[in-house]
Amino acid sequence: MTDKDEAQAVPMRFESMRQVDVPKGRDGKHKKIVLQVLSDISHLEPGSALKIPLSELPDSKENIRSALSRATKQREIEIATSSDENFLYVWKA
């Protein structure tokens, strides 16, 4: 019995799906907010920062900062962030 025959004899444990339906990359729950922040940053004047209410974030500020960091590194945009108990601040570095 070959490896191929053995693989066919054992039933599949996991569900299968069409490859075109597989989610791609990081188009997850942070994509919308990250794209909005990047768009707003592009309109900032030097010396200005975005003031984003934490209550409007779809996830924790730490997770949004991580998502922003990944996106800005990909696009070679330098940003800086800060936060307090109510807001996340983002500006061009």
Q: How many CB atoms lie within 10 A of CB 60?
A: 10
Write down the domain spans for the chain: 27-92
CB atoms within 10 A of CB 88: 22
Sheet holding 79-83, edge to edge: 50-53, 87-92, 79-83
In contact, 42 and 75? CB cutoff 8 Å:
no
Show pLDDT as tens, one digit a residue, over the chain (93 residues): 566 666 567 888 889 899 888 877 656 778 899 999 999 999 999 999 999 999 999 999 999 999 999 999 999 999 999 999 999 999 999
| Backbone φ and ψ of 51, nearest 5° | -120, 100
Burial status of residue 37 (CB atoms within 10 A of its CB: 0-12, 13-18, 19 or more): buried
